[in-house]
Amino acid sequence: MACYLHLSAQAVQEEILPAVNVAHAQIPNDPIKRWETVIPVVTELKAKAKKLGLWNLFLSKAHYPEFGVPLTNLEVRSTPQVDVLEIDHVPLLFSTQ
C-alpha cells in the first residue's frame, strides 16, 4: 500500500496540482461546448496515471486479477486522489469515470 500512497501523492504534487490552472483554461466558455469537451490536459494526466499503475485503484485484485490492485477499500480511500484539496478532476484521473 505504501507504494500506491507514495505514487499517488507524488502524482498529485508533481502532475495534477500544476495542471489545475491549465485545465480550467482549457474549459470552453460556451455552456454547450463546456459539457461536450474533453479537457486535453486531463487526457494527458489519465495516460500518465495509467503508466504509473494508478488507474482503476478501486478494482480489487481478488475480483479482477488481471487489472486490479492489491488494496482494500479502506486503503484506496486513503490515497490522496480521493479528496485532495477538493480538486474536481483528481478522482477522474485515477479511474474510469
Determine the Cα–Cα distance for residues 56 and 95; give it in Å rounded to an integer.
Answer: 5
48-86: pLDDT as tens digits: 888 887 777 777 778 888 877 777 777 776 665 544 444
Q: Is the pTM of this model over 0.85?
A: no
The whole-angstrom separation of Cα 14 and Cα 22 is 14
Domain ranges in the chain?
Answer: 2-93
Cell 505514487, residue located? 7
More confident residue, 45 or 71: 45
Contact 54, 8 (CB under 8 A): yes
